[in-house]
A = this chain, B = another copy of it.
Amino acid sequence: MTVTITERVKFFDTDTMGVVHHSNYIRMFETGRVEFLRTLGISLNEMMSDGILFPIVEVNAKFHSPAQFDDVLEISTIAEALTRAKMQFRYEIRRRGEEKILAEGSSTNVFTHDGKICRLPEKFFERLLKGLQ
């Protein structure tokens, strides 16, 4: 499953080079991931109220071409892998209506309870599994 959202680059996302600061693509990945999960009926707040956190343990990104202030970006999030202990996503960011990928990357998160890696409860696992299809 791929979920694509649209975000406009904010002025505060840019830096002295006149482009989006590379750290902010990592934040866009998060925004994409949250909306991916929402599409599956999962909110981080629901998980957190069950005591389950979702920390990122690895992130990788390649920056091919810079985005600038006011660009409208499409952030695509793709679920890559899921076990009861962790999940992997992939991301692609393009300018709206363009083929070229500006930035892409991946993230791995674990599921934790009380600060320890846990097995994700069935109710969340079932929903996440649908995202792998």
Binding site for B on A (CB under 8 A): 10-12, 14-19, 21-24, 26-27, 30-31, 34, 43-45, 48, 53, 55-64, 66, 68-70
Copies in the complex: 4
A contact face: mostly helix, strand, loop, or mixed? mixed
Asked if A22 and B17 sit within 8 Å, CB to CB, the answer is no
B-chain residues with CB within 8 Å of residue A43 when the two chains form the complex: 70
Q: Which 7 A-B pairs have the closest CB atoms?
A: A14-B16, A23-B26, A22-B56, A60-B60, A16-B18, A58-B62, A23-B27
Known: A15-B15, A18-B16, A44-B70. A27 touches B53 (CB 8 A): no
| A62–B60 alpha-carbon span in the complex (Å) | 9
Known: A45-B70, A57-B63. A11 touches B21 (CB 8 A): yes
B-chain residues with CB within 8 Å of residue A26 when the two chains form the complex: 22-23, 26, 59
B-chain residues with CB within 8 Å of residue A53 when the two chains form the complex: 17
Known: A12-B23, A69-B16. A61 touches B62 (CB 8 A): no
Asked if A11 and B61 sit within 8 Å, CB to CB, the answer is no
Asked if B16 and A23 sit within 8 Å, CB to CB, the answer is no
- Distance in angstroms from A114 CB to nearest chain B CB is 13
B-chain residues with CB within 8 Å of residue A24 when the two chains form the complex: 23
